[in-house]
Amino acid sequence: MALIECRGLTKEYRKGESVIRPLDELTLDVEKGSFLALMGPSGSGKTTLLNLIAGIDRPSDGSLHVGGVDIANLSRSKLAGWRSDHIGYVFQLYNLVPVLSAYENVELPLLLHPISRKQRHERVAMALSLVDLADRHDHYPRQLSGGQEQRVAIARAIVTDPTILVADEPTGDLDKSSAHAIMDLLCQLNQDLGKTLIMVTHDPATAEYAHQTLHLDKGQLVESGQAVVELAGPAETQTQETQA
């Protein structure tokens, strides 16, 4: 059984008398421990799909099971609890709280969990160490570079030990060097910690880091590719297959 199973997944919005359908009866399986990139033009449904899988939004039709749980039919409170336990979200613009230090930003998700202050400290310290920012724990976002801010955001996403990491354009606001470092870090989390990673990107070079790339257009899958990439990055791609 796949970790994520989407069957006939549809999302509709009404705008006046018009119906907008960013996802149209999409069917998709994502295996545990995989690294999936989603590509496609603006409005193709990439971020909509990401938000449905993350439990941020609900489908209009179809089924969505994650780890055997039918998250499309969970109550609002149960869905919030499920999301807190199983999803880590990495945003393009980091979404850090500017008046909180790196440590405090990473600690935020843990405040929703019934653990002691000592346990919170241990988890935050470990998360900051994993992203190589232990020595910046007391810095505020304005004192960090863009790449460092995104590392803090990744530490915040992994501090609860989620089942799935979702990333929406995680390198979209970074220079080439910082983007490369962030993608190496995400690959490390996937390979060393076994995190299932789903990433939306417009950048083919960024997508090459993933095990598999799926292309969406008008809410449907139109083609897929597969690549095996070493941690060093896309310059050292070993194999690549493309299927129409």
Residue ranges and CATH numbers for the domains of the chain are 4-243 (3.40.50.300)
pLDDT value of position 235: 42
pLDDT value of position 224: 53
Environment class of 114 (CB within 10 Å of its CB; exposed 0-12, middle 13-18, buried 19+): exposed
Residues 46-59 have pLDDT tens digits of: 999 999 999 999 99
pLDDT value of position 43: 87
- Tell me if 128 sits within 8 A of 134, measured CB to CB: yes
State the Cα–Cα distance between residues 64 and 212, nearest whole angstrom: 20
pLDDT value of position 189: 95
Residues 171-194 have pLDDT tens digits of: 999 999 999 999 999 999 999 999
* Cα 84 from chain centre: 14
State the Cα–Cα distance between residues 23 and 57, nearest whole angstrom: 12
State the Cα–Cα distance between residues 236 and 232, nearest whole angstrom: 7
The model carries a pTM of 0.87
Residues 214-223 have pLDDT tens digits of: 999 999 998 6
> pLDDT-derived band of residue 112, with 50, 70 and 90 as boundaries?
confident
State the Cα–Cα distance between residues 143 and 98, nearest whole angstrom: 10
